[in-house]
Structure 1
Amino acid sequence: MKTLGTHNYYVYILTNENKTVVYTGVTNDLKSRLYQHKNSGGRTHFTTKYKCFYLIYYEHFQDIEQSIAREKQIKGYSRIKKEALIHGFNPDWNFLNETIE
């Protein structure tokens, strides 16, 4: 997934097992971040409290400012607009965690 000489940033959306909650984040290491979400202790974190560990959407960027701007844009979307975005990328809302290298 990483290319020499480039920067990698990912905007991603997680959900819980029942697909009732969505969480949007940004990272420079998607695989590690997924692990952190699933294995962070304490119920104070949103993803821990609502068990949002399942990757259903992501976008790749090489520029941090673009990725942060995109994260903010998606966070501002209504639930319906987020669902449409996810559906366009992953129509069945399959959990993609195991597909990330």
Structure 2
Amino acid sequence: MDPAIDGHDIAVLKAQEGRLVLLEGRIASVGERAQRTYLNFSRRRGEAASIVLSKTLWREMQDAGWTAAGVSGKRLRARGVLSGRDGLLLDVTSKLALELID
């Protein structure tokens, strides 16, 4: 796999849509919804990638000690497939694909 892609590099992200990638960035905000949780690399949609976790996976991460407040501001490395209308959503399906770097 290639080196990590910067989660703010919109041009590179869009060029990698549909592919398995390693993405890295600092979590600016966490959006907890009924079925999914979003780890956003920007507070404004469209400015950077967002990591998408299923409700089940987010629960697994919480069981491992993750909280929305605890991961905000941390650097994250994640592996998954880039998707979404604008290619800025990274779908992650396993806790093994997530790594807090600091």
TM-score over 0.5 for the pair: no
Higher strand share: 2
Question: TM-score, normalising length from structure 2?
Answer: 0.31
Q: TM-score when scaled to structure 1?
A: 0.31
Name the structure where helix makes up a greater proportion of residues. 1
